[in-house]
Amino acid sequence: MDTQSREHSRKRLVMGNWKMHGNQAANTVLLDGLCAGVTAVPNCDVAVCVPFPYLGQANASLQGSGISWGAQDVSRHEQGAYTGEVAAAMLADFGCAWVLAGHSERRAMHGETDQLVADKAAAALSAGLTPVVCVGETLDEQEAGRTKDVISRQLAPVLALGASSLARIVLAYEPVWAIGTGLTATPDQAQEVHAFIRARLAELGVPQVRILYGGSVKASNAASLFAMPDIDGALVGGASLVAEEFLRIAAA
């Protein structure tokens, strides 16, 4: 599939990751703002991934709004004696469409391995959710010229799930050095990695998989990122906590 036909095959996706932020009162203001403004963004899929306790609130607030919602993590297990874990079917029970898998903070702080991330993606798929599988290199890895090696290693067990599963997955490239730092990969830097990922997907017959960019995305840099042929949207952190800023990113 060439770039032009791929551009016409699907909308871009802009997804907010609230991380560990929010309370019921603040969430109400944010969700109401998103619902009020999303009608001005007709050509983009908009979604938010909220902390587990607020999935019910998102479910109630976003019904019929055109905004979908999801969670930030999922268990690899279906059910059982796994205290503190949340199963994919439980997320589906709250109307989730999405779940993040392998965010760099989970990999770094919780020791999540590449295989575990793939297992979580598979668990999400089995419950009808779309996993958003995150990959990305650290600053040391980038400076050592190892970006593509790291991405290849992280992708390997996900690609091993096979084309039929990959066709139902979203990937997100998030250079670790650009998350929450104010640093952003230049559009050309991001495009180079996205094109590399796209080529790997094309080898398996699924070039249409959406690949998001994540890493200090703001309204001021979104348009230049989205102008790149292989960047299909954004995974937005801090800027997703302000309705107006988040919607301006989606509008870009």
**Catalytic residue list:** 103, 174
Contact criterion met (CB below 8 Å) for 65 and 34: yes
The token pair that represents 59 in the structure block: 């479910």
Residues in a beta bridge with 132: 100, 170
Alpha-carbon distance of 228 to 223, in angstroms, equals 9
The token pair that represents 39 in the structure block: 């009608």
Q: Helix, strand or coil for residue 71?
A: strand
Residues in a beta bridge with 211: 171
Task: Return phi, psi of residue 71, to 5°.
Answer: -115, 170
Alpha-carbon distance of 68 to 32, in angstroms, equals 14
